[in-house]
């Protein structure tokens, strides 16, 4: 029973297209995150939601828009995809918003051609 | 500006040896220091974590050593095994928002 699940696992698309990645967690956590891992494996936070409220919004282009329909779901929509958006996007969740263990999904590898 | 600096970038250790990965941080407000382990094709998974009020924490073969005055912490893997081969990330965070700042990662290979 997967704790944090992301779909799709792989995305290959052309520049200029719009794509979405979906994330669901069944851990009962209140806080969810999107992290980006680049080709050098560097992990950087993009967004964080607590009880459907956006609490962290790092310096991310406006083309990226997260949406949290409920506490268990956090989706990421990307408009007008660029070559530099190619990366692995990880969804994560944690029980507490203050501190604690992050549970990561298996990642969604986005390739922009 | 990298808030958490990790070294080495890669490490090769013989089976049974000790793997040591080091991290240094700048922000003295950080109050939570976890280590994550990532296997190829998988997401990072928490390995062990420490708060700055203790200098060492051990869980099985994994130990974190923490030096608050030097703003450094390290991961020691005793009796390293081929199954430990993975990328290891140190991280730090502070307070509300749980915004983890990750180090650049260390690729560990344990030779059998």
Q: Where do the domains of chain B lie, and which CATH numbers do they carry?
A: 4-111 (2.60.40.10)
Task: Tell me the C-alpha distance between B56 and A98, whole Å.
Answer: 22
> Given a cut of 80, is residue B1 above it in pLDDT?
no
Q: What pLDDT is attached to residue A108?
A: 98
- In a 3-state reduction of DSSP, which class is residue A60? coil
Residues of chain A with pLDDT under 70: 1, 97-100
Helices (H) and strands (E) in chain A, counts: 0, 11
Out of B46, B100, B104, the one facing A42 most closely (by C-beta) is B104
**Closest CA relative to residue A34, chosen from A13, A53, A56:** A56
Q: What pLDDT is attached to residue A25?
A: 97
* Contact between A90 and A69 (Cβ < 8 Å): no
Task: Tell me the C-alpha distance between A9 and B64, whole Å.
Answer: 33
Task: Retrieve residue B6's tokens.
Answer: 């990790």
Q: Give CA B100 to chain center in angstroms.
A: 13
* Contact between B92 and B32 (Cβ < 8 Å): yes
Closest CA–CA distance from residue B96 to any residue of chain A (Å): 4
Q: What pLDDT is attached to residue A101?
A: 85
* Contact between A97 and A55 (Cβ < 8 Å): yes
Out of A31, A40, A44, the one facing B98 most closely (by C-beta) is A31
Q: Which residues of B touch A (CB under 8 A)?
A: 31-32, 34, 38, 41-46, 49, 87, 89, 93, 95-102, 104-105
Helices (H) and strands (E) in chain B, counts: 0, 11
Closest CA–CA distance from residue A41 to any residue of chain B (Å): 7
Q: What is the pLDDT of residues B18-76, one digit of tens each?
A: 999 999 999 998 989 999 999 999 999 999 999 989 999 999 999 999 999 999 999 99
**Closest CA relative to residue A27, chosen from A96, A107, A98:** A96
Q: What pLDDT is attached to residue A20?
A: 98
CB contact (8 A) between residue A31 and residue B99: no
Q: Give the DSSP letter of residue A101.
A: P
The CATH number for A41's domain is 2.60.40.10
Percent of chain A residues past pLDDT 70, beyond the cut: 96
Report the DSSP pairing between strands A108-112 and A10-13.
parallel
Q: What pLDDT is attached to residue A97?
A: 66
> What's the domain range around A14?
4-112
Substitution target in B10, B39, B43, B102 with the highest count of A β-carbons within 10 Å is B43
User: Number of structural domains, chain A?
Assistant: 1
Contacts of B31 in chain A (CB under 8 A): 99
Report the DSSP pairing between strands A73-78 and A64-70.
antiparallel
The residue of chain B nearest to residue A9, with distances taken between CA atoms, is B41
């Amino acid at each position: 029973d997967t704790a944090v699940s992301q779909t799709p696992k792989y995305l290959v698309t052309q520049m200029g297209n719009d794509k979405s990645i979906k994330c669901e967690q069944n851990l009962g956590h209140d806080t969810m995150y999107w992290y980006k891992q680049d080709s050098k494996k560097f992990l950087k936070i993009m967004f964080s939601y607590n009880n459907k409220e956006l609490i962290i919004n790092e310096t991310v282009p406006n083309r990226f828009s997260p949406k949290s329909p409920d506490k268990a779901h956090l989706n990421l929509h990307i408009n007008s995809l660029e070559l530099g958006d190619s990366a692995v996007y990880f969804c994560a969740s944690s029980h507490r918003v203050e501190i604690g263990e992050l549970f990561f999904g298996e990642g969604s590898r986005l390739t922009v051609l | 500006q990298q808030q958490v600096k990790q070294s080495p970038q890669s490490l090769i250790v013989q089976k049974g040896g000790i793997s040591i990965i080091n991290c240094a941080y700048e922000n003295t407000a950080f109050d939570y220091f976890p280590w994550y382990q990532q296997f190829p094709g998988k997401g990072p998974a928490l390995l062990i974590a420490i708060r700055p009020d203790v200098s060492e924490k051990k869980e099985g073969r994994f130990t974190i050593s923490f030096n608050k005055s030097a703003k450094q912490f390290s991961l020691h893997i005793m009796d390293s095994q081929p199954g430990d081969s993975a990328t290891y990330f140190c991280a730090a965070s502070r307070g509300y928002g749980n915004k983890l700042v990750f180090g650049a990662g260390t690729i560990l290979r344990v030779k059998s």
